[in-house]
Amino acid sequence: MTTAAAATIPAHVPRELIRTFPFTLGQLTSENPFRRMVHDVHRVDPPVFYVPNVYPGGGPGWVVRRYADLRNIYSDAEHYSVKGFAPFAMMIGESWGNVPAEADAPLHDQYRALLNPLFTPAALKKLEAKVVSIAQGLMEKFRNAPRVEFRSAVAVPFPVSIILDLLGLPQSRMDEFMQWEHALLHDGNMENLKQATRNVTGMFRQLMKERRGKAGDDLVSFALNAKLGDRGLTDDEIVGFCFNLFIGGLDTVTTNLCWQFRHLAENVEQQRALRNDPALIPDAIQEMLRAYSSASTFRTCIKETEIAGVTIKPGDKVLMCTTLGSNDPEVFDHPEEVRFSRKPTHLAFGSGIHHCLGHHLARRELTIALQTLLPALPEFRLDPKAEILTDLGGVIQPRSVPLVFERPH
């Protein structure tokens, strides 16, 4: 621990609760972190502990590992706020917040009442055929190949295609979007991140200008024409909503696709089970969402409180570690085992009022990916010669998923 880090630790933090923690931005592993690293935290660390560099940018914060404690924080608006946990605007000198992820009640609830109908299972039915055809189109490119790097071939472009469609943008903008997504969420360089933030918000403002005053069935037009009570959304709110979609709906889906296909490649008997009985797919996805929960957010304490006997003071950041909560051995028997029959209630999409707005869409994407690809592709395994690096912070994501196909000679 450096002197600078020590200087930022407040006096109320008991020194024995200061720990190192692998899941922070910038850390990497060549292991599969879900084999051992995730479960080791439950074995060796107390329920709540303090990590000097856990907050993006290098600041300190608390890590909460238990499912029950996380559930309590998610539903505690009296002591915790979501404001400012993803400060992209601040970094480019603007002041919008992500809508609705960085809004507290009561405004938050108004946003959700407005946006929920866009993402219900019923509303998503009209996307179904398009999502299937996107999956099929991506698969055609490697259908007869002996191998494929699944992350770049499917896991990244699949959700990007769908978001382009929802925004009413042409698929020809795919490469540009993927570059911006990479700079925003996977590039350690702050200048690249800021430039990508300007590019993405600039694009949204351009779309708003072009579509204002017109009817349209895309999400930008929806936001331009929406009413919140007796007012329309402000331009900042519309930018915040579009940006929230961008950061919430792309990398998260990519991550889960990567882990699911990696899991099936490393566990061929379970891959065979899904091929033999596709009706198992929804339960398999639910269990893999649990075991591979990869996306965490932060809360900021706004009123002094305690978690498991530990005092939390206003200003303290708290990592809502879904990875750990969904793998809590106090709740899940042998959490390291992926059991398709488990049917767990997990924290992959969070809990409480901010539970992921897009989770039904995410589930359709994951389900369609498995339903479309498994029957059309031969049995696959991980390339035994490949070393797979996994980013451990931000969203826990492998940098590649190299698959090799069993093809008859």
Partner 1 sequence: MPRITYQQTDGSQASFDAAVGDSVMQVAVHHSVPGIVAECGGSSACATCKVEVDPSWAARLPPADENERSLIDGEGPNVRLSCQLKLTDALDGLVVHVPGSQYR
Task: Indicate the residue among 366 and 382 with the shorter CB distance to partner 1.
Answer: 366
| Residue 352: CB minimum distance to partner 1, A | 5
Question: Least distance (Å) from partner 1 to the CB of residue 227?
Answer: 12
How many whole angstroms separate alpha carbon 150 and alpha carbon 139? 10
Nearer to partner 1, 119 or 405 (CB): 119
Give least dist CB 110 to partner 1, A: 9
Closest approach of partner 1 to the CB of residue 275, in Å: 21
Angle at 22 between CA 21 and CA 27, to 5 degrees: 130
Listed in sequence order, the residues at least 6 apart from 386 whose beta carbon sits closer than 8 Å to its beta carbon are 400, 402
Q: For residues 73 and 382, what is the distance between their CA atoms, to the nearest angstrom? A: 38
Rounded least distance, CB 112 to partner 1, Å: 7
Q: Which is nearer to partner 1, 136 or 367 (CB)?
A: 367
Nearest to 160, CA basis, from 140, 191, 184, 144: 184
Q: CA distances (Å), 396 to each of 29, 45, 83, 362, 389, in order?
A: 10, 20, 23, 17, 11
Q: Which CB, 270 or 351, lies closer to partner 1? A: 351
288 Cα distance to chain centroid: 14
The SS3 call for residue 377 is coil
User: What's the rounded Cα separation, in Å, for the pair 298 and 86?
Assistant: 8
| Cβ proximity to partner 1, 291 vs 356, nearer residue | 356
Please say which residue, 84 or 282, places its beta carbon nearer to partner 1. Answer: 282
CB 100 to partner 1: min, Å: 10
Rule CB under 8 A: which residues touch partner 1?
Answer: 71, 74-75, 109, 112-117, 120-123, 282, 343, 345-346, 349-356, 359-360, 363-364, 367
| Minimum gap (Å) between residue 356 Cβ and partner 1 | 8
3-state secondary structure 336-375: CCCCCCCCCCCCCCCCHHHCCCCHHHHHHHHHHHHHHHHH
Largest CA distance in the chain: 67
Give residue 26's Cα distance to chain centre.
Answer: 17
Q: Which is nearer to partner 1, 109 or 304 (CB)?
A: 109
Min dist CB 251 to partner 1, Å, is 21
CB nearer to partner 1: pick between 131 and 183 = 131
